[in-house]
Amino acid sequence: MSDAAWVRAILALGSNLGERAGTLSAAVVQLADHPGVRLRAESPVVRTKPVGGPAGQPDFLNMVIAVDTTLAPYELLAHCQAVEAAHHRVREVRWGPRTLDVDIITYGDAASDDPALTLPHPRAAQRAFVLYPWSLMDPDATLAGVRVTALAAAADDLPGISLDGTGEPGA
């Protein structure tokens, strides 16, 4: 892999079933435990209300990580899905409760309209549960040329995010 180019990717992780905090911690380790993946940064974990999906779901714990990878986009997707499977991820209901969700938000500057892997992630720019932790990890980050801090501030779900358990987003 010494000849392969390293690409920065942003991954969003969420969990609202089981031991959520432990699942997220383990998933970060497992995602980085690949010769083609290097963990570069991780956000704080935030508590969020479910967005979409069936009513009555438990709150999510969400975070974002930055990785450098030599994996091609679909190889990275397969790796993310393998980590989800290791945590018994079941896909029964769209936006339903889950033990672990790992989404590729960006993969370098790649753009793709493929339904199997749309890049950048098609709904990331409207989701504070992705944008807010990402902005905490990297306040200068941009998505489609717009600062993630500005996108997070405009997202409808920002009021449902808690950084410290108070129900209020952090600074």
Active site residues: 89, 98, 101, 103
Residue 34 DSSP label: B
Q: Are strands 60-69 and 7-15 parallel, antiparallel or unpaired?
A: antiparallel
Are the C-beta atoms of residues 10 and 20 closer than 8 Å to each other? Answer: no
User: What is the C-alpha to C-alpha distance for residues 54 and 150, in angstroms, rounded to an integer?
Assistant: 29
User: What is the C-alpha to C-alpha distance for residues 116 and 144, in angstroms, rounded to an integer?
Assistant: 20
